[in-house]
Chains A and B, each alone.
Chain A
Amino acid sequence: MTTDEPLLRVRGLKVGFPTSDGLVKASDAIDLTIRTGETLALLGETGSGKTVLGMAILRLLQPNTRIEGEILYRGRDLLSLPEREMQKVRGREIAVVLQNSGTSFNPVLRVGDQIAEAITLHRGLKGPDAEAAAVDLLDRVRIADPARMAREYPHRFSGGMRERALIALALACNPSFLIADEPTRGLDAVTRREILSLFSEINRDRSVLFITHDIEAAATLAARVAVMYAGEIVEIGPVDAVLSSPVHPYTRGLLGSLPERGMRPIPGSAPSLIAPPAGCRFSPRCTFAVGRCEKEHPGLVEVGPGHYARCMLYD
């Protein structure tokens, strides 16, 4: 069920990492809302700031990170919660499926025990009850023979099975908001399709932020899509509008580089996030760039119902 009330509202979020070369501005003035029951796909390339945004919501970034802005979850600002309160939000309210399932499990503990641990911590079930709940979860994510697999160690799981087990772990407390970070990365076509169909079940009764660079996965699962480039949202809107009639030159370039859409590469490479271009961040690579683009920084402009793009051409 999608309602109009926003579950999550991100306002003016800036995340910077201090380095010896300067501050890396990983996300810059991000505004975003996710409604109850809605799936929003966050598309963008490596280094565009997608994962940083997800981790900022969960406050899982390293302590020296500079964070400004507001992250309102059910009206509470997560950035100002004490750590103890935040621990109750993580896992129970907002859960995450981390990138790289290979390193997300402890290799020396059985998978079932690791899921049971989360259940014990958040739901208070103990011993055999927690174990039975873990087996139920593995069954829910369609792992064959869940009772036996719960007693196995992570290395006995294939990539696709580990991804499922991670999803089971994230679902352990029935969170109302799930952040999934590239859950289809590195999976073959058949396994990827299975994981996507699992997500289309999971997202029926909760909100999902689906971080991905898999454009087709975004098209399958999401109601809305946000496209990130160099730390900014450059286009956001309903999935059909953004993917079938993209307006931002970067979104068009990204879609055009798909093998099935002609495989025409975007020239050049992404800019440094320490000193990004002063005007439009995409202007050095943009074939439509005019003089203004290099000087003025464009804001988000509404180009259709609920569809916004950060581009001078529509100003």
Chain B
Amino acid sequence: MIDICDLKTYYSTGFLHRTEIRAVDGVSFRIEKGETLGLVGESGCGKTTLGRSLLRLIEPTGGRVLFDGTDIMALSRKDLRRFRPRMQMIFQDAYASLNPRMRVCESIAEPLRIHGLEDRAGIDRRMRDLIERVGLNEEHLNRRPYELSGGQNQRVALARVLALEPDFIVADEPTSGLDVSVQAQILTLFRDLGREYHTACLYISHDLGVVRAMSDRVAVMLKGRVVEIGPTTDVLDHPCHSYTRRLVAASTGGEGFARPAPCPASLRLPAMIEVRSGHWVEATAR
């Protein structure tokens, strides 16, 4: 479904002394149809850049992203635009991702209209269907984002994404600002809808508890690279990479949560080896 091969995104900073930051430094993985891959790692490890790069919301420096066999990176802007409805993103801050001047109904109708999916009556019908799907009702259609709570705004953002019936969704910490009870509502909704529509998903989070509940497989990212990837319970219950162990320890309250040492040069572009079925870890880390 989604096949990512040696994806790289570098930023350069500084004016006189330009330095290069390798936010995503050669990442490869696959996501199958209907599968959710959790992407974990601490702030600044490149999770968000990776998510945005593979939708080309940020232009990557190199690598390939194959979407059902089509190389996204090779598409022209026009072709990419035609492709957009099939791959969508849900952002961390729902309030900021909705246009504050648009009513909920306009926000949901907009993607339907832009991608020319249906006529006016059809759009209306579809909108009412979607708003109920995400657990809101018709009275919310005339509200604006500031009149809704954080959880309700995230539901609207979800309705907007589902409007296009995408094959692939990148969800970037969609519940990190929400309370646990609202988070549980949004996550169960997201999981059920994902199953219903058979959507592939890259679920970005730093909360291992959430990732465990949401994903089939999990990838661990450290300083721009994926250092471990495999079935969720296998990776989180039997982590092989020292960094994954630290992350797991930090989230369960165990010891050994010291920061990882800077990555030595010898660790650049390491090979991955398979430790158990489908569970891969960076070779040098074992």
Question: Which A residues lie at the B interface, using CB under 8 A?
Answer: 45-47, 158-160, 186-194, 213, 215-216, 220, 253-254, 256-260, 263-266, 269
Residues of chain B at the chain A interface (Cβ within 8 Å)? 42-44, 149-151, 176-185, 187-188, 206-210, 212-213, 246-247, 250-251, 253, 257, 259
6 nearest A-B residue pairs (beta carbon): A257-B184, A259-B209, A265-B184, A45-B179, A265-B185, A259-B213
Residues of A within 8 A of B188 (CB): 263-265
CB distance from A251 to the nearest CB of B (A): 11
Contacts of B259 in A (CB 8 A): 190
Q: Given the complex, which residues of A lie within 8 Å of B257, measured CB to CB?
A: 190, 193-194
Q: With the chains together, A203 CA to B248 CA distance in Å?
A: 26
Contact (Cβ within 8 A) A189 B251 = yes
Contact A259 B212 (CB under 8 A): yes
- B247 A257 Cβ-Cβ under 8 A: no
CB distance from B200 to the nearest CB of A (A): 21
Can you name the residue of chain B whose Cβ is closest to the Cβ of A266?
A: B181
Residues of A near B250 (CB, < 8 A) are: 189-190, 192-193
Q: Which residues of B contact A190 (CB under 8 A)?
A: 42, 246-247, 250, 257, 259
A257 contacts which of B42, B150, B181 (Cβ < 8 Å)? B181
Q: Which of A47, A216, A264 has a CB less than 8 Å from the CB of B184?
A: A264
Complex Cα distance A45/B187, Å? 17
Q: How far is the CB of B176 from chain A (nearest CB, A)?
A: 7
B interface, by DSSP: helix, strand, loop or mixed?
helix
A254 touches B181 (CB 8 A): yes
Evaluate contact between B212 and A191: CB separation under 8 angstroms. no
Are the CB atoms of A216 and B183 closer together than 8 Å?
no
- CB of B42 within 8 A of CB of A269, answer no
B180, A189: Cβ atoms under 8 Å? no
Chain A residue at smallest Cβ distance from B40: A189
Instruction: Kindly provide the distance from the CB of B70 to the nearest chain A CB, expressed in whole angstroms.
Output: 34
Q: Are the C-beta atoms of B149 and A186 separated by less than 8 Å?
A: no
Contact B44 A257 (CB under 8 A): no
Q: For residue B151, which residues in chain A have a CB less than 8 angstroms away from its CB? A: 269
A254–B185 Cα gap in the complex (Å)? 11
Q: Specify which chain B residues have a CB less than 8 angstroms from the CB of A269 in the assembled complex.
A: 149, 151, 182
Question: A253–B181 contact, CB under 8 A?
Answer: yes
Residues of B within 8 A of A47 (CB): 149
Given contacts A189-B251, A193-B257, contact A257 B212 (CB under 8 A): no
Q: Please tell me which one of the listed residues B43, B179, B187 contacts residue A46 in the complex, with CB atoms under 8 A apart.
A: B179
CB <8 Å contact, A257 and B183: yes
Closest chain A CB from B59 CB (angstroms): 26
Do A258 and B209 contact each other (CB < 8 Å), given the known contacts A189-B251, A269-B149? yes
Contact A216 B253 (CB under 8 A): yes
Write 26 A-B pairs (CB below 8 A) sorted by A numbering. A45-B182, A46-B149, A158-B43, A159-B43, A186-B177, A188-B206, A189-B207, A189-B247, A190-B42, A190-B246, A190-B257, A215-B180, A254-B181, A257-B180, A257-B183, A259-B187, A259-B209, A260-B209, A260-B212, A263-B187, A264-B184, A264-B188, A265-B184, A265-B185, A265-B188, A269-B149
- Chain B residues near A254 (CB-CB < 8 A): 180-181
Q: Which residues of B contact A194 (CB under 8 A)?
A: 257
Most B CB contacts (10 A, CB to CB) among A45, A188, A253, A260 go to A188
Minimal beta-carbon separation of A66 from chain B (angstroms): 24
Minimum Cβ distance to chain A for residue B2 (Å): 25
- Cα–Cα distance between A259 and B250 once the two chains are bound (Å): 16
Q: Tell me, in angstroms, the Cα distance from A25 to B247 when the chains sit together.
A: 41
